[in-house]
Amino acid sequence: MASLDRNNKILLDLVRQPGNNACADCGIPEPDWASYTLGIFVCLNCSGIHRNLPDISKVKSIRLDIWDDALVQFMRERGNSAAKAFYEKCVPAFFYRPQQSDCFVLKDQWIRAKYERREFTGENKCRQPSYCSDRFESTLWKKGKNKRQFLKRTFLLSRKDFTLRYFIKEDVSSDTPPNLFNERTKPLLVPNLVKSFLHALHQTKSKLPKAVISMKDLNAVFQPEKINHAHGLQISFANGKRTRNLFVYHEKGQVIVSLFNAIRATRLEYLQKKHPTLQDVDLIPEMMGCCLKEGYMEKTGPTQWEPFKKRWFTLCSKNRKLLYFKNPLDASELGAVFIGTETHNYAAAEIGGPSSRRGRWHCGVTLRTPDREFVFMCEQQQEQKEWLEAFRKVIAQPMTAEDYANEANMIRGK
């Protein structure tokens, strides 16, 4: 027992040292598990992922489990900093490093890429991961127009022209024309020349993409809960004056995370070309915009006498826009509100006290803009607090030249 206590105390001292005092994989402070085959300290959640790699990583609690002297000595000799220097030696600048709050598939594939596939050690310079290539192609399940129906579509990402295209899978893979000449039409004896022309026309149409998406305003974020799939990815982009959302997933976590990082790589290269004087450290935060807050609120009209309607709202700090949809999985928004700074007469405030004019929900928030005051109602006080904090965070951040241009475009579009 004395040896057990001594070894556990040694491990607790080791985990307090710089480098070891945060999870080796997600960065959360005070990890209390360790991989005694890799020599790293990890949190409870990441230790669960390590358990799925029994041939590579074996984990124990540094507080509750028994540790032999030899294993403790191994942990002394290794540690998170040494492991990071080896397993993360060649992580590309664009590659997303998951944090504690990220979804499971991102953390799972980060850990597998590091320790199982050893993608960042520099050992396999001849084998380039798919997300590093100039062309990334994959067949994904994409949400169609009919409620929650998902259809197979082929996506093609190109760094050469900074585009993401998607095709109707059946058209892309088809090498034969549709059956235009059935038994009833045989007596007509359509000339071979016409047949060849129709076949060529079909082949040409089959190669045309359903959409061509520029990297200029493209954003990608994992949304497993919204899409109701562990590997759900939301791809958003500007479509004229509106935002277009695509909701996709792939059965394999490695494929969808590779696509996500390939998009990040293409976005970074696009930004490098657009801003040749800036460093990667300045461009990386601009690669993707995070959703600051999402959820349902009730909204009334401009006179504030219209009936309240339940809408799904999304607030993005990168473009300073509050978008609202009828449903979370709608392809395009019903409307958008630009949020400027306090010096430009933008403000957010809590509505206090009950009112008969409000909807079913009674926790109100007002968002003031130069030409209108919006009234939103939240179901719970916690939601009200979170929306207020999110609005005020956007209002507090300085506007860029691009923000002023976006504001002017939205005003002109009204």
Q: What is the pLDDT of residue 403?
A: 86
Residues in the chain: 414
Predicted local distance difference test score (pLDDT) of residue 410: 75
Give me the residue label for tokens 């960065």.
27
Q: Tell me the C-alpha distance between 300 and 365, whole Å.
A: 12
Contact 387, 365 (CB under 8 A): yes
Each residue's pLDDT, cut to its tens digit, for the chain (414 residues) gives 445 589 999 999 999 999 999 999 999 999 999 999 999 999 999 999 999 999 999 999 999 999 999 999 999 999 999 999 999 999 999 999 999 999 999 999 999 999 999 999 998 776 788 999 999 999 999 999 876 689 999 999 999 999 999 998 554 443 333 443 344 444 444 455 555 655 554 554 457 899 999 999 899 999 999 999 999 999 999 988 899 999 999 999 999 999 999 999 999 999 999 999 999 999 998 898 888 999 999 999 888 888 899 999 999 988 899 999 999 999 999 999 999 999 999 999 998 755 545 568 889 999 999 989 999 999 999 999 999 999 999 999 999 888 888 888 777 665
pLDDT of residue 5: 84
Residue type at position 72? V
pTM of the prediction?
0.86
| Helix ranges (DSSP H) in 207-329 | 224-227, 253-274, 280-287
Dihedrals φ, ψ of 188, to 5°? -75, -20
Per the CB < 8 A criterion, the answer to whether 251 and 259 are in contact is: no
The rounded distance, in Å, linking the Cα atoms of 296 and 314 is: 9
* 391: amino acid identity, one letter: F
Asked if residue 119 lies in contact with residue 88, where contact means CB atoms within 8 angstroms, the answer is no
